[in-house]
């Protein structure tokens, strides 16, 4: 395959999955059998320059979040790209947090597969696996019902593309059982390239800093985490106090959320609002910390940020619910677990992580080793196999199961080149 098009949010960007898109693109660029990669990316506001990239990679910013004509822009770019295949890196809200632009954007893979180039989808979540009452639709039961009803049509249409891969077994079960899909596969999330050994210091040498990162305001909120840290600090001496560093931005549905919280806690020097974490700053963001916190009300897919904390040797605290259970059982990641929505349990998990250094280091080492398993290079290799078969949909050699990612690689004897 000479030219590959990848449709994804791409840094610098506030779009969901932009970090995953960056590492996926780089994994393909590392292959000798790919001559050119055209990234059909989201437009962004700001003066941040484009990242330095491999000479194979060309970034075309052609679509905008919440635009109802994003599909038209993407299809036009694909047609002019002369790409041999197209791969979409998506989740349900990739193209918008309003129903119409979100749904229209998600129809693009099927349209491009039928009219332009063989196309496949990496789908990071499914509406059926999301608790809509914990999203930006929380206050609108009618909209929740409409989204649930429309999701069947949207997912069914997406399956009309060459193939769809999902990152969790529970998602694959939905596609198999509800949609009777025969061109759907479970391919693990994959870990981002591990940091250099010199960056991963022992937890003992790190300051009493904990971090959290994401797009906040809907199912990812900060009130419990901030209160937990403040409660713990109230009983600690000045030199033992915990610093919470919050990285990320508002969820598009909750503009102003972080600014409001920052103003409320402006007097607390141990609550730091870092803001957007640029790709080049991700390593230092995680390696400064003894713990990464994931205090979610619900889950919507395999957490890319959890995988990032793993590769930088930072243990995580997360609730044992939903997709976190899948990641723990399927991929072998470990953490300090707590009861969902329970601040007292969260405080207990933070205290345990900071007072049991041997256990914390063991978790960090385990997760780092797990991260060296299914790498982004492996993911790229599997996706390339599927793209090569997408035109005919002859997936008989690739058909399923729980270890399909490993089985695909072993059966076809492919490895990153």
CATH match for 203-371 among 3.30.1540.20, 3.40.50.2000, 3.90.1150.10, 1.20.1250.20:
3.40.50.2000
Yes or no: say if 324 and 297 are a contact pair by the CB < 8 Å rule. no
Yes or no: say if 26 and 279 are a contact pair by the CB < 8 Å rule. no
- 319/346 Cα distance (integer angstroms): 8
Mean pLDDT of 406-412: 39
- 59/94 Cα distance (integer angstroms): 18
Q: How confident is the model at residue 128 (pLDDT cuts 50, 70, 90)?
A: confident
Measured CA angle at 89 (ends 388, 310), to 5 deg:
110
- 310/287 Cα distance (integer angstroms): 10
Least confident of 84-93, 189-198, 256-265: 189-198
Residue 415 is predicted with a pLDDT of 35
Which H/E stretch holds residue 36? strand 36-42
Yes or no: say if 289 and 272 are a contact pair by the CB < 8 Å rule. no
Mean pLDDT of 227-256: 92
Q: How confident is the model at residue 411 (pLDDT cuts 50, 70, 90)?
A: very low
Cβ contacts of 259 within 8 Å, gap of 6 or more: none
As given in the structure block, the two tokens for residue 289 are 């910390």
pLDDT exceeds cutoff 70 at 131: no
Q: Whose CA is closest to 122, among 354, 398, 382?
A: 382
CATH architecture, domain 3-190+374-412: 3-Layer(aba) Sandwich (3.40)
Q: Using a pLDDT cut of 70, give the percent of the chain over it.
A: 85
- 92/226 Cα distance (integer angstroms): 29
Mean pLDDT of 360-386: 88
| DSSP conformational letter for 396 | G
Yes or no: say if 160 and 121 are a contact pair by the CB < 8 Å rule. no
Classify residue 162 by burial, with Cβ atoms within 10 Å: 0-12, 13-18, 19+: buried
- 240/45 Cα distance (integer angstroms): 40
User: Are both 3-190+374-412 and 203-371 of the same fold?
Assistant: yes
Least confident of 118-122, 123-127, 266-270, 320-324: 320-324
Residue 197 is predicted with a pLDDT of 57
Mean pLDDT of 398-405: 43
Phi, psi dihedral angles at 50 (to 5 degrees): -65, 150
Q: Whose CA is closest to 298, among 137, 409, 156, 82?
A: 137
Burial profile 53-86: b = 16 or more Cβ within 10 angstroms, e = fewer:
beebbebbbbbbbebeebbebbbebbeebebbbb
Residue 191 is predicted with a pLDDT of 78
User: What are the Cα distances from residue 334, in Å, to 65, 68, 85, 301, 325?
Assistant: 34, 41, 37, 17, 10
Classify residue 397 by burial, with Cβ atoms within 10 Å: 0-12, 13-18, 19+: exposed
Least confident of 50-54, 269-273, 287-291, 372-376: 372-376
Tokens 């937990």 belong to which residue?
A: 228
Which H/E stretch holds residue 24? helix 18-29
Q: How confident is the model at residue 163 (pLDDT cuts 50, 70, 90)?
A: very high
pLDDT exceeds cutoff 50 at 407: no
Mean pLDDT of the chain: 85
Yes or no: say if 314 and 292 are a contact pair by the CB < 8 Å rule. yes
pLDDT exceeds cutoff 50 at 20: yes
Mean pLDDT of 335-340: 91
Strands 85-90 and 3-8 come out as: parallel
As given in the structure block, the two tokens for residue 211 are 């971090």
pLDDT exceeds cutoff 90 at 257: yes
pLDDT exceeds cutoff 50 at 402: no
**Which residues sit opposite 63 in a β-bridge?**
42
Mean pLDDT of 234-257: 91
As given in the structure block, the two tokens for residue 98 are 């309003």
Yes or no: say if 228 and 345 are a contact pair by the CB < 8 Å rule. no
pTM, full prediction: 0.74
pLDDT exceeds cutoff 90 at 315: yes
Mean pLDDT of 35-46: 93
pLDDT exceeds cutoff 80 at 408: no
Residue-range domain boundaries for the chain: 3-190+374-412, 203-371
Q: pLDDT tens-digit profile of 258-307?
A: 999 999 999 999 999 998 887 778 888 999 999 999 998 876 655 677 87
Cis peptide, bond prior to residue 12, ω within 30 of zero: yes
Residue 117 is predicted with a pLDDT of 93
- Alpha helix (H) residue ranges in 274-342: 282-287, 304-311, 322-326
């Amino acid at each position: 395959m000479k030219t590959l098009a990848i449709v994804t949010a791409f840094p610098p960007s506030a779009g969901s999955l932009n970090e995953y898109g960056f590492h996926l693109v780089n994994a393909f660029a590392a292959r000798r059998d790919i001559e050119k990669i055209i990234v059909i990316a989201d437009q962004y506001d700001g003066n941040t320059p484009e990242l330095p990239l491999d000479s194979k990679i060309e970034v075309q910013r052609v679509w905008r979040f919440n635009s109802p004509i994003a599909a038209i822009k993407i299809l036009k770019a694909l047609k002019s790209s002369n790409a041999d295949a197209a791969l979409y890196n998506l989740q349900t809200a990739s193209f918008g947090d309003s129903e119409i632009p979100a749904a229209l954007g998600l129809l693009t893979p099927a349209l491009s597969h039928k009219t332009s180039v063989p196309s496949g989808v990496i789908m990071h979540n499914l509406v059926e696996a999301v608790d809509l009452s914990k999203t930006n639709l929380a206050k609108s039961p009618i909209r929740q019902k409409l989204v649930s009803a429309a999701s069947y049509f949207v997912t069914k249409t997406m399956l009309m593309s060459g193939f769809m891969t999902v990152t969790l077994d529970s998602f694959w079960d939905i596609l198999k059982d509800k949609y009777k899909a025969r061109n759907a596969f479970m391919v693990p999330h994959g870990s981002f390239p591990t940091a250099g050994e010199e960056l991963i210091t022992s937890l003992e040498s790190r300051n009493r800093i904990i971090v959290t990162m994401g797009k906040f305001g809907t199912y990812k909120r900060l009130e419990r985490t901030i209160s937990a840290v403040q409660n713990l600090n109230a009983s600690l001496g000045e030199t033992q106090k915990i610093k919470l560093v919050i990285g990320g931005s508002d969820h598009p549905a909750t503009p102003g959320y972080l600014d409001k919280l920052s103003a409320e806690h402006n007097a607390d020097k141990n609550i730091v609002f870092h803001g957007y974490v640029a790709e080049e700053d991700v390593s230092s963001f995680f390696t400064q910390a003894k713990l990464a916190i994931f205090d979610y009300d619900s889950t919507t897919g395999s957490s890319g940020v959890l995988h990032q904390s793993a590769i930088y040797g930072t243990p995580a605290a997360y609730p044992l619910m939903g997709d976190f259970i899948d990641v723990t059982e399927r991929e072998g990641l470990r953490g300090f677990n707590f009861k969902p929505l329970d601040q007292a349990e969260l405080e207990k998990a933070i205290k345990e992580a900071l007072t049991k250094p041997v256990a914390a280091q063991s978790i960090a080492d385990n997760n780092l080793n797990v991260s060296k398993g299914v790498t982004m290079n492996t993911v790229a290799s599997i996706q390339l196999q599927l793209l090569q078969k997408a035109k005919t949909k002859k997936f008989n050699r690739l058909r399923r199961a729980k270890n399909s990612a490993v089985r695909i690689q072993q059966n076809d004897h492919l490895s990153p080149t």
